[in-house]
Amino acid sequence: MKLPFYLSLFFILPFSLFSAPHPGHQLMLGYGEGLMELDKNKHPVWHYQDPEIELVHDVWKLDNGHILFSHRYGVREVDAAKQTVWDFKVPREKGEQEINACQPLENGKVMILDCGNQKILEVDRDYKVTLTIDLPDGGKNSHTRYMQARKTAQGTYLISYREKAKIIELNTNGDIIWQFQLEKTDRPFTAIRLKNGNTLVPCITSNRIIEISPDKKITWELNSNDQLGFQILYPVGVQVLNNGNLVVVNSDYHHRKGSNNDVQAFEITRDKKVLWTLKKSDLENGGKVPVVERGTKMPSHHLLGIQVIGENPSLK
């Protein structure tokens, strides 16, 4: 039997033409001065700021609804009512101390990247340090030594060296078991160990994200030459979804062209199709205001950390 023409199109045209619009995701965002949660329609539903808080690199919404985040001088956990329930602090010595990453672990412990003392710490809820790993030297400046660290499913630690432009993987004894030297123009923000054993690295100053195999081959890359319809500025916080898509913070932090770019975050497939974008207006509707930076004189929204709620948090 010969099918009518309009039905035959169903079998010829790509399925994506018939699929429903992408619904978006519930997001938790960390930025220079606070935290913000957005619903699936990109509407802000929760906003947290504190005068003591600056430079939120890392943010996690926990299963109990609390939010764990790092900031320049510590790691804090707050509940939905914005009450502090756990507060790990380092001395407020600007230029000497800085915390750039945290990660919730089993049994309530927290992994902390102590940039000032060049250490990885694991700390329990009684503030007892249960593990300390001395890091290979990252340079003189605590702010530019490292960007983030992650404990992998294998129990190792990935550390992104900002100024030295490399990724190092350590075991619990502090031994280097894998490393990758990036290009001199790269400044890695984080390193995410994927299920296939590869490592995903967003590089802020070279405006690219690369995937690296264990034998140190670049197997995938997203960069400013890809035609996305907007600029890639500082690709910092990234989460890999269960379907393989990437949700990326496209930060305007310290970027002299930041005010030209409306897109602050986006989701992209591995074949580089953009599914949705988060724009400045989405943030400003919830009371997020840009900050004029002294260096660039540009208004910046300072997004850094991101979590897609309901997805695997270990892939961020």
Structure tokens at 38: 């957005």
Phi, psi of 222 (to 5 degrees): -120, 125
Report the SS3 class of residue 205. coil
β-bridge mates for residue 180, sequence order = 167
Positive or negative CA dihedral for 254, 251, 211, 117?
positive
* DSSP codes joined into one string, 38-50: E-TTS-EEEEEE-
Q: Per residue in 180-205, pLDDT tens?
A: 999 999 999 999 999 999 999 999 98
**What rounded mean pLDDT belongs to the chain?**
90
Whether the Cβ atoms of residue 148 and residue 189 lie closer than 8 Å to each other:
yes
Determine the pLDDT at residue 305.
94
Percent of the chain with pLDDT over 90: 74
What is the arithmetic mean of pLDDT over 117-134?
97
- Predicted TM-score (pTM) of this structure: 0.90
Distance from the first to the final alpha carbon of the chain: 51
144 Cβ neighbours under 8 A, 6+ residues apart: 138, 162, 163
Report the SS3 class of residue 305. strand
DSSP state of 240: E
Q: Per residue in 65-81, pLDDT tens?
A: 999 999 999 999 999 99
Determine the pLDDT at residue 17.
40
Whether the Cβ atoms of residue 187 and residue 162 lie closer than 8 Å to each other:
yes
- Of the CA atoms within 13 Å of residue 168, those in its CB half-sphere come to 19
Q: 141-167: string of b/e by CB count within 10 Å (b at 16+)? A: ebbbbbbbbbbeeeebbbbbbbebbbb
- Of 281, 292, 288, 314, the C-alpha closest to 303 is 288
Which structural domains are found in the chain, ordered by start?
26-311 (2.130.10.10)
Task: Label residue 95 by pLDDT band (50, 70, 90).
Answer: low
Q: Per residue in 3-14, pLDDT tens?
A: 454 444 444 444
Percent of the chain with pLDDT over 70: 92
Which of 16-30, 58-72, 126-140, 199-213 is least confident?
A: 16-30
Task: Label residue 111 by pLDDT band (50, 70, 90).
Answer: very high
- Of 85, 79, 149, 156, the C-alpha closest to 111 is 149
Positive or negative CA dihedral for 226, 230, 231, 233?
negative
Residue 16 above 50 pLDDT? no
Determine the pLDDT at residue 8.
45
